[in-house]
Every structure is written in structure tokens, then in C-alpha cells.
Amino acid sequence: MKISRIKIENFKCFEAFDLTLNGGLNILVGDNEAGKSTILEAIHLALTGLFNGRYLKNELTQYLFNNQVVAKYLYDLDQGKVAIPPYILIEIFISGEDLPSFEGNGNSEKIKECGISLKIAFDDKYQAEYEQLIQKGDVKTLPIEYYDIFWTSFARENITARSIPIKSAMIDSSSNRYRNGSDIYISRIVRDNLEPGDIVDISQAHRKMRENFMRDTSIRAINDKIKQSVKISDKNVELSVELLSKNAWENSLITYLDDVPFHYIGKGEQCIVKTELALAHKKSKEASIILIEEPENHLAHSKLNQFVHSIKEHCEDKQIIISTHNSFVANKLGLDNLILLNDSKTTRLNDLKLETKSFFEKISGYDTLRLILCKKAILVEGDSDELVLQKAYMLQNRGKLPIEDGIDVISVGTSFLRFLEIAEKINKPVVVVTDNDGDVEAVHKKYENYLGDKAKLDIKICFDSTVDTGDLMLGTKPFNYNTLEPKWLKVNDLQNVNKILETGFDRLDDLHKYMKQNKTECALKVFDTKEELKFPGYIIEAIK
């Protein structure tokens, strides 16, 4: 049983949003405020009635509503127009099993489907009182006191979390909520693992602990001292251990790892423990939906690798929805499962070539999400190319780095075509800066789908069409005069280059050898210099 689709109206950043989900893994990526967390929250809310770990009925607030919708409602009221109180609607469409009690057309599209509807809306029983409020005028906030929660199946039957056949487990490893020295998240997971008999045993042990505390000679002496001191109250005052509430033991117990209180261990270890416990605890085993919020938080690369492997290993029979900003997570879990969020729209990469998906999964260090999330990308081969190109951009743009304008310069090795395949799928403007390596025809052949009659509006291939030659040999191999360093040296004065690089060569070929052997060091000096610089034409073309 899986979620086939979720529809959201007027909830937080979404005024209208519709998302079809894979039956297995779904990876949500997008810039900050794109709505990744909101989607996870909406799914969990509709399946459990919980928001931020609390029941929604106790958490109703105007801030759950889309700002634009609320603003329009209040503006219409202020202008004396007819203003209908806005609502929030979350619809979960379910597939996989025959569920007649959840099947019907009780959804916003009036189509016969199986699913759940959660609506936060004005309750008509308050109509008379609401009209009096409106007549008085000066309504500056949403009258949330007149709202109620309507939680139904598509068969129009009222439901509760207990009656919903599909379960979800929400894992937010970035969250740190403490209560009396312990972590609420951990306490809840530990409690969920306990049988009723275990809880009884803990409660009795906790009661005995209180009785022993009260019988302790020191405590009795202190309480006698309190009674004999200045009168505090007409009632008897003494120190004790809280025991009166039903679950008092939960407020007293602290989770330890290797004799260290949980909240004192490192944040990365906290993330792993929380997620591993959540994946293993009983509610998670019952759940068919696993919701994971940014699992990369606080984790070193090796730990993140272990973490991702654990997710894949434990959740093979689950539907998993993960939000992330991390290219490693996205690549390892598969780009074909990726859903890009942008301006309440979604784009998928599930139709990439098999070899491209396999490449990024196996060589997962590539910054695919940098390409996906930037406004425009400039792809270069290596770090030295990146530094030189950024310097050229800064000189053309009053010292601003490309990233300050939303342009990301990314070193991709020789994997240009794989990145271009992704760029085409998401309509991302991309510039490729490449060497001709002495074979312009080979460059034309490699990029034949992006040059000449096949040139694409958002993809530009920049290279020097002139093949330079010379007599320099490096061992038994001829020197390549057609990479960035020789092309840059060609357009700059020898004396000025020596000044920039802090060298004293009289011959260009000596500089060629030096720059070949010290590519990164030379690129850093070019980047840092205050001297006048020139750049090859294809570099200038790339940064236009």
C-alpha cells in the first residue's frame, strides 16, 4: 500500500500543489523555501494528525496557511468585499489494496479514488458569531478560533489516525527538542518499543525510587529542617520526586549512550542514533511510508555513506520520501528518483540514460545538485580552469564572484555530456568551457548535438577554434599548446605574466613548462593578482 499522489492547497508555501510519487524511493531537492519540508509535514499530518509532534487541534494557527491567501482574504475584508475564509486542504491518494471504506469521490476533483482528506476550514456552526465579528470591522488576523479540522476518507466517512490503514514514520535528524535534560524524540521512540508490561514495570520501579528517596536519612533531615524554618505556607512543604502524573517516569528518565547523556554526544552521532532507532522501532516497522528530513545534517562523509546504506538496507519494502541538499545522498540513492522543486512546480530525472544514472551513483562525489539548484552553471574541466574563469568574471562584473549572481562554476572533469543531459531535462542554462586539445573536429563531434544547426538556446559550448603549435617537448611527447594555460599566456605580455607568477623566464616555452607543472599554484596567483589581465576570447564569451 503506497501513496500514489498528494495534493496540497493553501498550506504554508503552497497555494496549489500536486505531486505524483514513486512507489519506492523519492528524493526531494530544491532551494531553501522551495517546500521540501512542507511536503513531508503535509503527508505526515494527513496520516497522523500530528504537526511538530503535537496534535494539530492544539496547534492551529494562522501561520499554517499560505501567506498570500491570508493576505488576500484580509485585504478583501478591509475593502468591504465578499471574503470567504481560506482553508487548508491535504489529499492523500492511496494505491495498492482494495479499501472500500476509503474509496469514493469525496475529494476536490470528485473522482472515484481511494484516499484521505484533511481539511482545516471555517466551521459553519460559528457563522452568526463570525458575522458579528466582520460587522465590527478591523479584522487584522485570520479568525482561527472559528476553524475546525475535518478529517475524512474519500468515502466521506470521519476517520482517526487509528483507522487509517497506511502508516508513516517521520525522521527529522536535524531536530533537537529537549525536555528535562532528555530528547523528546528519543524518549518517544524508546517508549514505542516498550510492551505494556514493560511500562508497568518502569512505573513501579520509578515509584520505588521515589519511596527510597523519601526514606533516605539525608532527605528526611532536610524536609524536617524545611518544616522548622520560617513558615512558607499553611500546608506541609517538602522535597520529593514528581510521581503524580500518569507518565511521570518519562519526564525523569534520560537516555544514555556509553554512560553519556544523549544530549551531550555529538550532533552527528545523535542524527544516526535517531534515524536508526526510528527505522527499527515498531511504529516504523508497521509504517509503509518513511519520511526523512535532510539526513546529511552533522554527518561526516564516511558516516553519511554508512547512513545512506542503512536507509537502502532497512527500507527496501517501504515507500521512502527524503528531502536533501546533498549531492552524495541524491547520487547514491539514484537520480532517477529525484524530484526537483521550483516555484511550486516539479521536474524529474527518471528518464536519464541508464549509463548516466549509473555513473553518478557509482562516482557519487559529483556536485549534481549544484547544477540543479543554481540559476546558471558554467562547467569547466578542473580547479585551475575554475579559478581563472572566476577571475575573468570578477573583472567583468566589478569584483563580484559568479555565485553572487546565482552562477555556479563547477569542475566536472571530462563528464560534460552527462551534466548536459541533466541540464536539458530541467531546462537549466549551461555554458561549457573546454579545451580543443589540438583537434577542433573532435570537439565538434563530441558536442554535435549542441553546435551549429542543433544549437540550443540555453546551452553554449565555448572553445578556441584556433589550433596552436610549437616545438616544445615534454619528454618524448609534444607539449599541448591548446589548453587554458597556453591560451591565456598567448594573450598576455611575457613581462606581466612573470610579474603575476613571480617568475623570471625569458622564453615562453619555459613559462609553458612551469605553468604545466604548477597549474593550481599559477591559477591561484592569477586569481589573486591586482595586475592587468587579458583572457582568451572563448573565456570572455563564456562569461557574457
Cα separation, 212 vs 159, whole angstroms: 46
> For residues 72 and 82, what is the distance between their CA atoms, to the nearest angstrom?
11
Please give the backbone phi and psi of residue 109, each rounded to the nearest 5 degrees, phi first.
-95, -5
Which stretch of DSSP H or E encloses residue 333? helix 327-333
- Sequence-separated contacts (24+) of 214-218 with Cβ below 8 Å: 214/240, 214/241
Name the 3-class secondary structure at 408: strand
How far apart are the two ends of the chain, measured CA to CA in Å? 51
Cell of 437: 586539445
Q: Are the beta carbons of 21 and 3 closer than 8 angstroms?
A: yes
User: Which string of b and e fits 179-188 if b means at least 16 CB within 10 Å?
Assistant: eeebbebbbe
Instruction: Decide if 64 contacts 375 (C-beta within 8 A).
Output: no
**Which cell numbers hold the place of 346?**
516539479
| DSSP symbols for 76-113 | HHHTT---PPP-EEEEEEEESS--GGGEES-STT---E
Which residue, chain included where needed, has cell 526510528?
278
Query: What pLDDT, on the 0 to 100 scale, is given for residue 541?
Result: 96
- Distance between CA atoms of residues 261 and 184, nearest Å: 13
Look at residue 180 in the predicted model and tell me its pLDDT: 32
Three-state secondary structure call for residue 324: coil
Q: Tell me which residue has cell 521512540.
A: 189
- What's the confidence (pLDDT) of residue 70? 96
The rounded Cα 540 to chain-centroid distance in angstroms is 35
Q: Which pLDDT score is estimated for 254?
A: 63
- The answer for residues whose C-beta is within 8 angstroms of residue 351's C-beta and 6 or more apart is 336, 425
pLDDT at 128: 94
167 is written with which cell numbers? 502508516
Q: Are strands 54-55 and 430-433 parallel, antiparallel or unpaired?
A: unpaired
CA distances 482 to 167, 234, 405, 437, 505, Å, are 60, 94, 30, 5, 21
Cell, residue 279: 527505522
Is residue 338 within 8 A of residue 29, CB to CB? The reply is yes
Percent composition of the chain: helix, strand, coil (DSSP 3-state, to 5): 45, 20, 35
Give the pLDDT score at 365.
65
Nearest by Cα to 37 from 159, 175, 154: 175
Cell of 252: 525523569
- pLDDT score at 534: 95
pLDDT of residue 33: 82
pTM of the model: 0.73
What gap in Å lies between CA 426 and CA 231, rounded to an integer?
Answer: 75
What per-residue confidence (pLDDT) applies to 172? 72
> Cell numbers 583572457 correspond to what residue?
535
Ordered per-residue pLDDT tens for the chain, 544 residues: 899 999 999 999 999 999 999 888 898 988 778 899 999 999 999 999 988 878 888 888 999 999 999 999 999 999 989 899 999 999 999 998 778 889 999 999 999 999 999 999 999 999 999 999 998 888 889 999 999 999 999 999 999 988 888 888 787 755 544 333 334 445 555 555 666 677 677 777 767 776 787 788 888 888 787 777 655 556 666 666 655 444 555 556 666 667 676 666 676 666 666 666 656 655 555 557 888 888 777 667 677 777 777 777 766 677 889 888 877 787 778 788 888 887 788 888 777 888 888 888 776 666 788 888 889 999 999 999 999 999 999 999 999 999 999 999 999 988 999 999 989 888 899 999 999 999 999 999 999 999 999 999 899 999 999 999 999 999 899 999 999 999 999 999 999 999 999 999 999 999 999 999 999 999 999 999 999 999 999 999 999 9
User: pLDDT tens for residues 29-88?
Assistant: 887 788 999 999 999 999 999 888 788 888 889 999 999 999 999 999 999 898 999 999
